[in-house]
Amino acid sequence: MTVTAVQGIGVHVRAVTPTAARAQADFRALLNVLSRPGVLDAVGTGDGPPALGVAAGLADVEVPTAVLTTPGEEYWARALHLASSAPVAPPHEARMVVALRPPTSVEIAALTRGDALHPELGTRLVAAVAGLGGNGPGQDGPEVVLTLSGPGVPGTRRLRVTGLARDVFEALAAANAGFPAGIDTFFVAQDGTVAGLPRSTRIEIENGEH
């Protein structure tokens, strides 16, 4: 690897590495949205994708991680692994999957869910989306409206997600049908807005296109 290449990846590593204060604030926001499904909070934004900054605060050497990127942006995956020391893993074996581009329903269905005795082995999914709750810039792509119920939700709560197709949520609902096994999901919008969808949440999909 050339010196120029090292310098280039160093820029991206710094872009996704949160300060200690930001990592602590982001962690509190993630706990809040995971315990209150459908409630919106905010994480810090910097020079890199906000979803990757969130993942950098959660990953470490004991968390095999996969990053889904669009062609030509694989450097973000390398930057996360260098910043966090998280080992590289294929998505179907990873403990955390960071989707910087929309995942497919097939990819969601293949994620590890753990089992009734070892639910902690289920994948944590951090998915970048265009927007949440109808706010923020870049409201491109399909908008899906979800009705959520279960622990942490008094009655029901609605969540609007822009940028993911309906069948992605159908796959998430199917993956979480065998609770306590399943997938805990964080949606991170381009403006830093974040929402949580724990495996215990029941999902009804109001609209959306495949």
Lay out the sheet containing 202-205: strands in order across. 131-132, 157-162, 143-149, 202-205
- Top pLDDT among 15 and 146 is at 146
Check residue 210 and give its pLDDT.
Answer: 52
Q: CA Rg, the chain, in Å? A: 16
Q: What is the mean pLDDT of residues 69-93?
A: 92
Check residue 142 and give its pLDDT.
Answer: 80
Check residue 140 and give its pLDDT.
Answer: 62
Q: What is the mean pLDDT of residues 15-33?
A: 87
Average pLDDT over the chain reads 88
Taken in order of first residue, the domains within the chain and their CATH numbers are 3-205 (3.40.50.11310)
Check residue 207 and give its pLDDT.
Answer: 81
177 — pLDDT class (breaks 50, 70, 90)? very high
DSSP-assigned letter for residue 153: -
136 — pLDDT class (breaks 50, 70, 90)? very low
Residue 96 has pLDDT above 80, yes or no: yes
Which residues have CB under 8 Å from 108's CB, separation 6+?
125, 168, 171, 172, 175, 183
- Top pLDDT among 75 and 116 is at 75
Q: Is the dihedral of CA 160, 164, 186, 172 positive or negative?
A: positive
CA distance 130 to 136: 8
- Cβ(193)–Cβ(139) below 8 Å: no
15 — pLDDT class (breaks 50, 70, 90)? confident
Give how far Cα 93 sits from Cα of 40, 122, 172, Å.
29, 10, 17
Residue 138 has pLDDT above 50, yes or no: no
Check residue 195 and give its pLDDT.
Answer: 97
Q: What is the mean pLDDT of residues 126-131?
A: 96
CA distance 168 to 91: 15
- State pTM to two decimals: 0.89
CA atoms within 13 A on the CB side of 77: 22
